[in-house]
Structure 1
C-alpha cells in the first residue's frame, strides 16, 4: 500500500464557527471525562510503576498544561514579556519556559519578562534556558 503525502499547511482556510464549536466540545469533554481519566491514570501508574510512574504522568500533564498556557496567554505575553522582534509566544507545541528561554538568549525580554525569568531561576536555576526546545521551529511567517 502506498500512502500519499497530505498537504498539512497551517494556513488553510477553516470556518471560524467550526473552531468555536470544537473548542466548546473539547471543554465539555474535558470537564466530564477529565477527572475520571486523571484518577484512573494516577492509580494505574502507581500500581504498575510506583511513585516514579506517578511522577512521570504528572510531568506529562504539567508540560501539556504549560503548552496550553502558551497558546492561551500568547497575546498578553508577547505584549508584556518581549520586545518588538522577539521570539513570539503561542506555538502549541512549545512550553512557556522554552519561549521565555529563547527570548533570554536573544536578549529580547522586557523588564517584566526578565523579572518572570528571575523568579523561575529562584525556583529552578537556569529554568528557561534549560527548558528550550531546539526542535520547535517558528511558523513560516516568522522565519
Structure 2
C-alpha cells in the first residue's frame, strides 16, 4: 500500500462555519472529558509505571500544550519574535521552542525574540537549539 503525503496546511478551502463549529465542539469535549482523562491518566501511570510513568505522561502533555501554543500564538509570535523573513510559527506538529531555535539558527529573531531565547537559555542552556525538530515539514 502506498501512502500519499499530506501537507500540514490544507490545499482545499474549508467552510469557515465548519471550522468554527468543530472548534466549539472540541472546547466542549475537552471541558467535559479532559479532567477525567487527566486524573485517570496520572493514576494509571502511577500504578503501572510508578513516578517515572507520571513524569513521562506529564512530558507528553507539556509537548502537546506547547504545540497548541505554537498554533494559538502564531500571529503574535510571527509579529513580535521574528523578522519578516524568519521561519514562521504555527505548525501544529511543532513546539514553540523548535520554531524559536530554527529562527535563532537563521539569525531572524527580533530583539524581543532574542530576549525570550535568553530567558529559556537561563532556565535550560541551549533550550531552543536542543528543541529543534528537524523532521517537521513547513
The number of residues matched between the two structures is 136
Aligned-CA RMSD value: 1.3
- Tell me what 1:141 maps to: none
SS of aligned partner of 2:54? helix
Q: State the Cα distance separating 1:90 from its structure 2 match.
A: 0.2
Q: Whole-Å Cα distance in 1 between the matches of residues 6 and 127 of structure 2?
A: 33
- Write out aligned runs for 1:104-143 (5 A): 104-138=104-138
> Higher mean Cα deviation, 12-21 or 22-31?
12-21
Q: Whole-Å Cα distance in 1 between the matches of residues 5 and 72 of structure 2?
A: 26
- Please list every run of 5 or more consecutive structure 2 residues that lacks an aligned counterpart in the other structure: none
- Tell me what 1:22 maps to: 22
Which runs of at least 4 in structure 1 moved beyond 3 Å after TM superposition? 3-9
1:48 paired to 2:48: yes
SS of aligned partner of 1:57? helix
1:11 paired to 2:11: yes
Q: State the Cα distance separating 1:27 from its structure 2 match.
A: 0.2
Judging changes above 3 Å, is the alpha-carbon distance between structure 1 residues 15 and 4 closer, same or farther for their aligned structure 2 residues?
farther
- Please list every run of 5 or more consecutive structure 1 residues that lacks an aligned counterpart in the other structure: 139-143
- Normalising by the residue count of structure 2, what TM-score does the alignment of the two structures yield? 0.94
Q: Whole-Å Cα distance in 2 between the matches of residues 44 and 92 of structure 1?
A: 28
Q: Deviations over 1:67-118 (max 9, x none)?
A: 0000000000000000110000000000000000000000000000000000
SS of aligned partner of 1:129? helix
Q: State the Cα distance separating 1:34 from its structure 2 match.
A: 0.3
Higher relative contact order (CA 8 A, sep 6+): 2
- Tell me what 1:102 maps to: 102
